[in-house]
Amino acid sequence: MTDDLTKAESLFKEHKIRHIPVVSGSKILGILSYTDLLRISYVDAADDEDEVVDVTVYNMFTIEQVMSKHLVTITPETTIKEAAEILASKEFHALPVCKGGLLVGIVTTTDLIRYLLEQYN
């Protein structure tokens, strides 16, 4: 929560991910997606390697202002089918996995697609 958006963008690129859980300790407060960053910047996302980010724009906002706060979470016991049904019916692509109110993981649409592909191997 205390990091800035420039740090978040760096994490997205360094780890080739599209979602970052925003936490305080292990308690999830929100999710920041790469799309959230693109919405506030004037970056053309067509070529990630040549992006020049206007840091001034990032400095105008905090992670708390940009992240999604209204989360739908699942538990480790949630079935793959249930997770897929949630993602198919909503306009987001990541589900925090929480146990006892604490973040223990994250499931994305990409994870579900990879799982499905593994079933055909």
The predicted-structure confidence for 105-117, as pLDDT tens digits, reads as follows 999 999 999 999 9
Residue 49 has pLDDT above 50, yes or no: no
Q: Which residues contact 46 (CB under 8 A, 6 or more apart)?
A: none
Q: Which two tokens stand for residue 105?
A: 């993981």
Q: How many CB atoms lie under 10 A from the CB of residue 104? A: 13
Element of type H or E holding 88? helix 80-89
Mean pLDDT for 54-80 is 89
| Cα–chain center distance at 82 | 19
Q: Which two tokens stand for residue 26?
A: 């292990």
Q: What is the reported pLDDT for 2?
A: 87
- Note the pTM of the prediction, 2 decimals: 0.80
Q: Could you tell me which residue, 54 or 89, shows the higher pLDDT?
A: 89
Residue 21 has pLDDT above 70, yes or no: yes
pLDDT band at 60 (very low <50, low <70, confident <90, very high): confident
Domains and CATH numbers, the chain: 5-118 (3.10.580.10)
Q: Helices 80-89 & 109-118, crossing angle to 10 degrees?
A: 130
Mean pLDDT of the chain: 87
pLDDT band at 42 (very low <50, low <70, confident <90, very high): low
Residue 61 has pLDDT above 50, yes or no: yes
Q: What is the reported pLDDT for 47?
A: 46
